[in-house]
Amino acid sequence: MPDNQFKKNEKLKSRKRIAGLFEGGQSFAKYPLRVVWAAVEQREGEAAVQFGVSVAKKKFPKAVHRNRIRRLVREAWRLHKYRLVEAAPGKQQALAVMMLYTGTQELPFAEIEAAMKELIHRLLKKWH
């Protein structure tokens, strides 16, 4: 059984790394998500795959709605990240992934999860 936890060292928090991701990373989308990713230097103590999520304040002015969507996206990631993590040990570089919620309304978890599966599958193809 794969490790389904979303641990602290897997969280994408570095402002420099996030800025570099948006400057030089690649992206593609599957509604309602857009993924921005880049292969980065793996630092000691960090996971091979780091993940962050963002929901636009302009589209969801209330924090309670943004937080709920972030929670759903993180849950979908947590359940399906094992495909990327299993492919990572042979790599010398880590993978930084930022997921952007582009929908204009909160969608059911099943739709978010289906989009996440598709994006992870495409990301795995592009990373290798």
Note down the domain range covering 30. 26-127
pLDDT of residue 90: 65
Stated pTM of the model: 0.91
CA distance 38 to 54: 16
CA distance 35 to 29: 6
Task: Give tens-digit pLDDT for 97-106.
Answer: 999 999 999 9
Whether 3 is covered by a domain: the verdict is no
Name the residue type at position 127: W
Q: What CATH number is associated with residue 115? A: 3.30.230.10
Total domains, the chain: 1
Task: Give tens-digit pLDDT for 53-71.
Answer: 999 999 999 999 999 999 9
Angle at 115 between CA 74 and CA 101, to 5 degrees: 55
Whether 53 is covered by a domain: the verdict is yes
